[in-house]
Each structure stands twice: as C-alpha cells, then as structure tokens.
Amino acid sequence: MWDRIKPKKMYLSIFFYSCLVVSLLTLVFTLFLSQQFARSAQEEMNKSNQEKVKQVVKTSEYTLQKLRQFALRVYSDENIALWMSMEKNNYSPLTLNKAAISVREFMNSEPFISGMYLINFNLDQIYTSESSIYTTNDFYDPEILDYIKNQKTPYLQYFNHEVKGGTFLALIVPAAGPNQNYQGFVAILFSKPLLNEYMLQISDEDQNKLYIEGKNKEFILGNTDPMLANALMKTDKPGTEKQGWEWNYGNVTWAIQSERLPIEGWDVYYMAPISLWQEKVNQMRFEIIGSSILLLVALLLFLFWQSYRSLKPISDLAYQMKKKLGKEHSIIQGTNDKSEMAWIHSGFHSLMERIEQLDLSIKSSQSLVKEDYLRQWILNPNSSKRIEEFMKSQTSILRTGWFRIAVIRLESYGRFEEQYDFASRKLLRFAMGNIVAEVLMNHAYAAETVDFGSDHIVALISAPAAEDDLPQIKSALEQVRLQIKQWIKLEVNAAVSSVLDVEENLQILYPQLYELTLMTFINNEDKVFTYEDMERYEPGKDSDLDEGLLKQVIHSVQLKNEKALEGYLDQLTLHMQELSYEECKLQLTHIVYSIMKSFKNYSTFQGLKSVHAFLEQFGTLWEVKQWLYREMLSIMDQQRKKHTSGRKEEVAAEMIEYVRNHLHNPMLSVDDVAAHVSMSVNYARQIFKDHFHCSLSDYIATQRIEFAAKLLTTTDWTVADITEQSGFQTKSTFFSAFKRATGMTPNQYRMEKNKEEA
C-alpha cells in the first residue's frame, strides 16, 4: 500500500521525507522548549515567592521590634508612669489628666495603634484611649485583665486579642513573669488590617495569600479567608527549612514558601495559586506552539521551493534517461530498484561504457602515445627524428637538452607477484609512477615516468647542465622511496645516472642502472646508487666461472629437470674446491646473484639482503651446494603452482602486455617473452596458444601490422618512420608482411582509408 501512495517523483519524495523529518524535529523542539519554559517559569515563581517571604520576615521583624520599643516608651513616659504608680492615699485627678494627654499624643504618633489601656491595680482603675475610666469589675475587656494576671513569661510578646467583635494584635508592658509583682500596666492594641497593608504589604484582593501562624497554630496575620486559614492551620505542614512545597485545597493547588520569624517564633507562609501560574504558562505555550507552526509552514514552503528548484531537473533528467534507454534496459532489468536515481545511474553507466569504448578506440591519446614513445626512445637508440621532435614538444624534460634517468625497482618482486594479481600489480606500478612524479615536483624537478611492465619503472628527470645537483636528486629519490613505502607499503631500490644529453645511448645506460639497483642484494647498502657505485662491483669480472654451465643450471630449473639440475650443480662447484676462500666466495656470490636475476618473479631469494653476509653461515662448499639445490627445487614448486589455470591466465596477460610495450623493438622474439615470465620457450608458447588459439610469433607479427595500420591512418608519418616504429627490421620486410595481411601496400592502404573518411 505504501508503494502506491508514496510520491514517484524524486523531488516530491525528498520533499515528503523532509517534511516528516522537519515536522518531527519541530515537534520535539517545541515540546522541549515549552517544558523548559514551564520549568523555568516555576523556578522563577518559586524564587520570587521565596524572596517575597524573606522580605516579609525582614520587614515584620523590623516593624514589630520598633512597635515593641514604642510600647516601652509609652510605659516609661513620666506622666503615664506617675499615674500607674499612684495609690489611693495620694490620688490626684490632675495626674490622670496629664497621663491622658500623653496617651493622646502617643496614639497620634503611631498609626498602627487601634487602642490603649492604662491599668492601675492599686487604684482599681483602667483608663482607655477613648478617654473612659473603668474599674476592674465594670471594664468591657476582662480577657486582657485575665491575660495580665496569668502571663508567665518575662518577655514582651505579641498575642491575639478579641474585643468588641474585633481582632487585634496586643502587647502588654511590662512583661510580668511569675516572680514579678507589678501594679501598673500598659496594654496596646495594634490594628491587623493596617499591619497587613503597611507591614506585610498585602490586601484581601491579592490572589497570592500570606498566612502568619503563631506558636500555638493560631492565625496571627495575613489575608487568607477564615476557611482557608482554618484548613491550613489543621494541615500537617513540613518544617520551614523546606523552602518550597505544594498544598491542595479544594480545586486549587497552592505553591507555598515558608520562613520563621525568629524573635516571635511565628511561621510565615506565602501562598501562590499554581492555577494562575499555569494559565500564564499555557498561554505562553500556545504562543510558542503557534510560532512553531508558522515557522514549520515557512520551512516546508522553503523546502518545497528548494526541492522543486534543485531536484526537479534531476527528475526531468531521469525521465529523459528512461525515455532514451527504454523500460527494458539491461541494467535496470538486473535490479529491483526502479527509482529515478537508478535510471540516472544506468544512464551514466551506459555513458561511461561508451566513453570507455571511445577511449579504447582512440589509442592515439596524448598520455598513452607519450608513454609509448618514451619507452621506444629509451629502448631504441635509432628512434626516428619525428619521435624525438614529438618528445621535445610534449615533455618539458627534453626541451633543455639535459636530463637524468633513474630506475626505481621493487625489492621483493616475487612476494609482490604472489600477493597481487596482474591488474593490481599494474595499478600499483602506476601509483609508484605518480608518487615519483609528485615527490620530484615538490623538489623542483620535472619528471616523466614509464612503466616497463615488470619489477621496475623508469623516470626521466630534468637536470641542469652541471653535476652540482647530485646530492639534491639523491635526497629527492630517497624521499621517493620513503613515500612509496608509506603509502603503498612497497620496498624499492633506486639508481640515478649522471647528467645526460639527448644524444646519449639510453639502450646501454638503462640496463646498467637496472644492474645498480640490484647491488643492495649483494652488499646490503640501503641507498640511492649512482654510476660511481658501478666501479665497485662488476658481476663476473676476473672470474673464470663457466657462464654456459650456469645458464644450463637455470635452464634445467625452467624445464623442472631435477636430475639435470643436480648434475650441473656438481659440475659448477667441482672446480671451486681448489680455489682460495675469497675467490670461492666471490664466485658463489656471482652464482646466487645470477640466479636471483633470472628468477626475480619468485620470492625464494627475496629475503637475502646481502649475499656476502648470508654465505658466512655455511662452513663448507658442500653445504652451500645443498642449500642451492633446495632453493632450486623450491623455485620448481613455485613454477608448478604458476601452471594452474588461474595463474596461466595471468601469465598470458603478462605476455600480451610485454609484447605491446616492446612492439617497436625489431629484436623482440618469443625467447624474450618467455624469459620475461620465467618459463621455457616451449611452455610459454603452449600457454599462449591454449588461451588465444594462435601462436605467440603470429600474435607478434599481427600486432606489428595492426600498429602500423593505425599509424598509417592517424599520423602523417612517412612509411620509413612507421616501419621503424612497428618493429620491422627493413622496409622490404614491412611491405611484404603488410601486403600479405591486408592485400594492399602501405601507401594504398593509407589512400583507401582517407577516401573512406572523406
């Protein structure tokens, strides 16, 4: 069902999924933001209420203490004190008059006072602030007289007092404890509404409530209604050390902050209805949600516009691909993915296939032609003038006329060949060439690299006319070795020539440099070799070793003839028994060196870093011969493994690459190809014919003709130049072979192809 309703167009599909993601993120963010706001608002309310109750406590302490001091001033007033100390025998109405005047003055100076009593038990008289005189028997407020008689604390304390239907905060001066005997007292009644308004700064209309509870859980001050006050009074409340708590009463939940008045011992409770706070929070939540919805709509519109503007062309491209390729395209048929991207991928895949086919058909591309010409120029000392001009125009190295040639050889090619297949080896040599060119460029040297299809590559390096830069070029090549080891994990040896000019015979110099890279095997020197090192060691110099017999040893290994191998080794080492130790060691070094060169594709000898050092472990010539025999048998086993079907295909492919790279060499033969893959000639011929159904010699001849035909149609070279570049020794041989293959002479073939193109 989902497949039916989901959008088919890619830009609509991406927009749809983007909408889901953005909506989900917006929803999560909105919920998170509203929760954070609610939490922050509650914390802010609690903090504000806490500050409020602390301010109330601070103000109340100050005001009550000030009123307490005021009461003491009233009691200590001279006129009032004189009247309260009078007895019946010295009573004077004038004294009472003066005391009344003082009472009126005090009443006018303090607005919190609602009433004041002067009580003289000696006279049995009570004077009130209403200017009335009563006896203790007819006084309208007998409860306060009882409080005075029954008080047990020596401290001035406020207490609740009701008289004439009103409730007041009362204070008696002095505080008559159980051991005190006073006959005169001042009772002051303070107005609770005024204390609420001015001391506590609250009113009955406030939504937030303040409740002050006495020591005996009685209501002292506050703006709570009686029912709420009674309910709170009966509630088991946490201690005042708990700063914030909630209390449910009826349908209202109150957030309560509490503090204690330390002097009075009263508990102050500041109550805020959570419903009011929740209404404000919900209103803010609605505003946040509304803003998020507007933002979401704006984002979705922007996403749709971006999808339409950026991705609709891709959908249109996919439609064109589908229309062009057809619904039954082979790549699409092979997968269940019928999406627009699948059509685009298949379209580009088809395009890349066509480009690759076109690239293969255009064999004359600059990079391939240049590498092929460089290879010819190095191997063929008699390259045509046209090739030399082409090389000078296409490579900056040869324009100055001075250059160096360097050989970079893989140290353990046998292991390298066993570890990687033919294609991988080719890619790794290509990577080596790139590293060589880049590192030399970083050292201010221009370089061109050539892959010779085996265990080494050759680099042509720009150079000044003088030899002054030899240390610098050696340092650069040392860096090349380090970089190759770091990036593609291969050990290489390198040798570099002196400064050469374009007239030098590279066909001679190139093999000499290759020989130099092999010197590490002999003397274990880990460095970049130069021509100066050539003089230190020349294989076979001043040696009467039978080179022909040595070749027979190598040939018997290629033929896998164990009996012949053992006989040749016996003959080879027989005459060494009469030589001195140093001469014998020199000839053994040459034997191992020659075998290593012949079987470089095998890993048997790759572990030997120094022949001289290795031979030190043997005590007798017989031990060396036995070791050589075992190693030769090991090479035979490796060759047998190489003859498996998978390995045969690699060998055949390596033969083809060698032929193509050396096609211009007129001396190229089946023997050279067989030597390159380390096989006997007959077995190499057999493998090639089994895979390509033609002989190796016929393939070489056919490739020469095809290469010559391509040069005839893609260049304006003379027939003589083409004869040379195709690897034909003489012009007559070329004419005969070309006419036999095509039925036309080279000139006739060129004219016929030009007519067809026209």
Q: What is the dihedral of CA 517, 520, 523, 526, to 10 degrees?
A: 120
Residue 319 lies in a domain: no
539 confidence band (pLDDT: 50, 70, 90): very low
Q: How many CB atoms lie within 10 A of CB 495?
A: 27
Report the candidate in 536, 530, 432, 546 with the shortest Cα–Cα distance to residue 483: 432
Asked whether residue 626 falls in the same domain as residue 649, the answer is no
**pLDDT value at residue 482:** 92
355 confidence band (pLDDT: 50, 70, 90): low
Residue 602 lies in a domain: yes
Asked whether residue 413 falls in the same domain as residue 402, the answer is yes
**pLDDT value at residue 8:** 62
DSSP per-residue string spanning 136-158: TTT-S-HHHHHHHHH---SS--E
Asked whether residue 349 falls in the same domain as residue 449, the answer is no
275 confidence band (pLDDT: 50, 70, 90): confident
Count structural domains, the chain: 5
Asked whether residue 692 falls in the same domain as residue 622, the answer is no
Which residues constitute the domain of residue 335?
326-359
Report the candidate in 124, 136, 134 with the shortest Cα–Cα distance to residue 87: 124
Contact 212, 260 (CB under 8 A): no
Question: How does pLDDT run across 21-76, given as a tens digit for each residue?
Answer: 888 888 888 888 878 877 887 788 788 888 888 898 999 999 999 999 999 999 99
Asked if the model's pLDDT at residue 113 lies above 80, the reply is yes
Question: How does pLDDT run across 79-105, given as a tens digit for each residue?
Answer: 999 998 888 888 888 988 999 999 999
Residue 476 CA to residue 337 CA, distance in Å, equals 52
| Average pLDDT of the residues in 571-584 | 71
Residue 314 lies in a domain: no
Among 632, 667, 700, give the residue marking a domain's end.
Answer: 632
Average pLDDT, the chain: 80
Range scoring the smallest mean pLDDT among 53-62, 367-376, 679-688: 367-376
Asked whether residue 60 falls in the same domain as residue 187, the answer is yes
Maximal C-alpha separation, the chain:
173
| Average pLDDT of the residues in 126-137 | 90
Q: How many CB atoms lie within 10 A of CB 270?
A: 28
Among 632, 658, 673, give the residue marking a domain's end.
Answer: 632
Residue 276 CA to residue 748 CA, distance in Å, equals 106
CA atoms within 13 A on the CB side of 90: 7
Among 568, 602, 632, give the residue marking a domain's end.
Answer: 632
Asked whether residue 194 falls in the same domain as residue 100, the answer is yes
Asked if the model's pLDDT at residue 599 lies above 90, the reply is no
Residue 416 lies in a domain: yes
Q: What does pTM read for this prediction?
A: 0.45
550 confidence band (pLDDT: 50, 70, 90): confident
CA distances from 739 to 323, 333, 725, 746, 753 (A): 48, 47, 18, 7, 15
Show the beta-strand stretches assigned E in 87-165.
Answer: 113-120, 125-128, 133-135, 158-163
**pLDDT value at residue 149:** 83
Query: φ, ψ for residue 587 (rounded to 5)?
Result: -70, -35
**pLDDT value at residue 364:** 44
Asked if the model's pLDDT at residue 216 lies above 80, the reply is yes
Region at 732 (left for phi over 0; alpha for psi -120 to 50; beta for the rest)? alpha
Rounded (10°) angle between helices 731-742 and 696-714 = 90
**pLDDT value at residue 153:** 67
Residue 285 lies in a domain: yes
Asked whether residue 491 falls in the same domain as residue 447, the answer is yes
Asked if the model's pLDDT at residue 542 lies above 60, the reply is no
Question: Tokens 């020469």, residue?
Answer: 704
More confident residue, 229 or 558: 229
Asked whether residue 200 falls in the same domain as residue 93, the answer is yes
**pLDDT value at residue 191:** 93
470 confidence band (pLDDT: 50, 70, 90): confident
Asked if the model's pLDDT at residue 608 lies above 70, the reply is no
106 confidence band (pLDDT: 50, 70, 90): very high
Domain CATH code at residue 738: 1.10.10.60
Residue 235 CA to residue 224 CA, distance in Å, equals 15
Q: Are strands 166-173 and 184-191 parallel, antiparallel or unpaired?
A: antiparallel
Asked if the model's pLDDT at residue 185 lies above 80, the reply is yes
684 confidence band (pLDDT: 50, 70, 90): confident
Structure-token pair, residue 485: 């080891």
Asked if the model's pLDDT at residue 406 lies above 90, the reply is yes
Residue 493 lies in a domain: yes
More confident residue, 343 or 95: 95
Asked whether residue 266 falls in the same domain as residue 219, the answer is yes
Asked if the model's pLDDT at residue 214 lies above 70, the reply is yes
Question: How does pLDDT run across 612-649, given as a tens digit for each residue?
Answer: 667 767 767 777 788 888 888 887 777 666 655 556 77
Structure-token pair, residue 414: 């046998």
**pLDDT value at residue 483:** 92
| Average pLDDT of the residues in 184-213 | 89
More confident residue, 171 or 548: 171
471 confidence band (pLDDT: 50, 70, 90): confident
**pLDDT value at residue 609:** 53
Asked whether residue 288 falls in the same domain as residue 431, the answer is no
Asked whether residue 245 falls in the same domain as residue 349, the answer is no
Domain CATH code at residue 481: 3.30.70.270
Residue 312 lies in a domain: no
Report the candidate in 545, 549, 626 with the shortest Cα–Cα distance to residue 589: 545
Residue 152 lies in a domain: yes
| Average pLDDT of the residues in 377-390 | 68
234 confidence band (pLDDT: 50, 70, 90): confident
| Average pLDDT of the residues in 494-509 | 83
Residues 6+ apart with CB under 8 A from 673: 655, 658, 659, 684, 696
Asked whether residue 141 falls in the same domain as residue 263, the answer is yes
Report the candidate in 697, 635, 702 with the shortest Cα–Cα distance to residue 671: 697
Residue 728 CA to residue 717 CA, distance in Å, equals 15
Return the percentage of the chain with pLDDT > 70, whole number: 81
